[in-house]
Structure 1
Amino acid sequence: MDVAVSSTRQVGLGEETYARHLPGSGVGAVAHYLLDRREHERRQLAELGSLDDLAALDAMLELPEEADISRESVSGRVQRIVARLPESAVSQSEDRLRRLARHPVRVERITVAVRRSWTAALQRVLEFSQFAERVLVCTSSPTHEQVLEASYNGVGVALEGDDGNWVLEPDAFVVQQHSAARWAFAERVYALHLSCSN
């Protein structure tokens, strides 16, 4: 059965979008993201790279972004973790805290190329369900059953090529909640950005 190709929006994300291969064994994945230039420049000036401590990211989520908060208004655990962080991440006085750090990138999409195994590619792209919109890129038209499987999982399907064509547009990604895991993923992508930029 032939699968229809649609073109209600472009497959490409625009000139401001960067792409980095995500390390991992087996099926490769690519993160497409926008750099928060203000945060990037602030970190560069402060010589602050990526933040990879999950407990620290979780603690910082307890603090409002760029607003002073009373030290006593957060738990002792958060106070202890924040006390270890550099001033460029959290500004601290005797009784006030202010979170300066924020997500350095916004991951827009994860793409996985379908090469040998549709199942392996689908499993790989589903690993990123809580982080961004997900798309499988095929060298040839997928079967009707494969498109249904992708649709069930909210995964888009595009045909490989210069302009690309949608077989199935991905479900829009909606942030359900700001989590340390999501922030850590953004930091992981930012670390890749820094390693490729240096």
Structure 2
Amino acid sequence: MIDNLFYGGDPATVMPKAVLVALGHGTLGNDLNSACGDIDMTFEQGYEPDLAAFQAVPGAGRLNDAQGDAVLAIDLGEHRRRLSVGVGAETRLHVLDTLTHLPLGQSVPEHALADHDRRRVQSASDGLVELTVRGPVRRLQPAVEVLSVQVAAGSWWTKLRQAAAFARLAPSAILVSRPPSAEQMLQADYFGIGLAGTGPLAGEEFLQAVVPKPSSTAVAWLFRERAYKEWLKYGAAQARSEAVRNRASPADAEQDRTP
């Protein structure tokens, strides 16, 4: 699940069944440690990300015109680092393309970079790249890992097309409200897409999603950054909702406390 370029770890080879089951139930919340506890994540020497936060975020899976709900593992260490230096989600593909050429935390002589990469590095903010006498040092790394994507809206063909796009980058599942036909099973299996029940079939798993090979491309990183952007927006929306609830009148608050 974790990309070798960014974390140096071996990817997990199986998507935990508990994640798909929980997606079908619609019960995934802030704490997914029990559902994702069997994912083996190892990281490059000198870096120990804090992946204690797991969250299902509506619409966090985004790729071209495809959209789905995603389960994310949040690297709280990188998130806090970004907050401290004023860096949000980096969604410029050309910048991410340059950053994929730089190893994390290690300087690279400028003469070793292509001209366009050198120009981008020199204009990058400190939160992305640190310029040192020995050369630029990449500081930015993905703040989230997309553990799975679910597609629930639209016709069967719409869901199949969208899930197939995600399946190249993360385990992807289609939610179905009735048992899939043999033809639908074959179509989903061809793309490595999982099939999980929703509504009256909540908790049923008809086909398990295939975990794709790790990708170190700029597009794969952009996929993570878009998910991180949606997570930030989701958290801000929740904070606003909480603030509205806290501004409720004393009478309403007293009524809420009445058993």
Q: Do structure 1's residue 110 and structure 2's residue 149 form an aligned pair?
A: yes
Instruction: Specify the code of the residue in structure 2 equivalent to 1:9.
Output: K
Distance 1:118 1:37 in 2: 36
Instruction: Specify the code of the residue in structure 2 equivalent to 1:71.
Output: E
TM-score under structure 2 normalisation?
0.67
Distance 2:156 2:166 in 1: 16
CA apart distance, 1:157: 0.4
* Larger RCO, structure (CA 8 Å, separation 6 or more): 1
Q: 2:104: which partner in 1?
A: 65
Instruction: Specify the code of the residue in structure 1 equivalent to 2:226.
Output: R
**Structure 1: 5+ residue stretches without partners:** 1-7
Q: Do structure 1's residue 20 and structure 2's residue 20 form an aligned pair?
A: no
Aligned residues: 189
User: Residues 107 and 81 from structure 1, CA distance in 2 versus in 1: closer, same or farther, beyond 3 angstroms?
Assistant: same
CA apart distance, 1:103: 0.7
Check conservation: 2:59, 2:67, Cα contact below 8 A: yes
Within-5 A mapping of 1:1-198? 9-10=17-18, 11=20, 12=22, 14-15=32-33, 16-22=53-59, 29-113=68-152, 117-160=155-198, 164-175=203-214, 177-198=215-236
Distance 1:27 1:183 in 2: 16
Percent of pairs with identical residues: 24
User: Residues 153 and 82 from structure 1, CA distance in 2 versus in 1: closer, same or farther, beyond 3 angstroms?
Assistant: same
**Structure 2: 5+ residue stretches without partners:** 1-15, 23-27, 34-52, 237-259
Q: 1:4: which partner in 2?
A: none
Give the secondary-structure state (helix, strand or coil) at the position aligned to 1:187.
Answer: helix
CA apart distance, 1:28: 5.3
Instruction: Looking at secondary structure, tell me which structure has more strand per residue.
Output: 1
User: Residues 116 and 75 from structure 1, CA distance in 2 versus in 1: closer, same or farther, beyond 3 angstroms?
Assistant: closer
TM-score under structure 1 normalisation?
0.86
Instruction: Specify the code of the residue in structure 2 equivalent to 1:19.
Output: A
Distance 1:119 1:109 in 2: 20
Instruction: Looking at secondary structure, tell me which structure has more helix per residue.
Output: 2
Q: 1:5: which partner in 2?
A: none
Check conservation: 1:130, 1:182, Cα contact below 8 A: no
Distance 1:194 1:47 in 2: 13
- After superposition, give the CA deviation of every residue in 1:117-153 in whole Å (9 maximum; x if it has no partner): 2111111211213220110111111112111111111
Check conservation: 1:103, 1:186, Cα contact below 8 A: yes
Distance 2:56 2:148 in 1: 9
CA apart distance, 1:21: 2.6
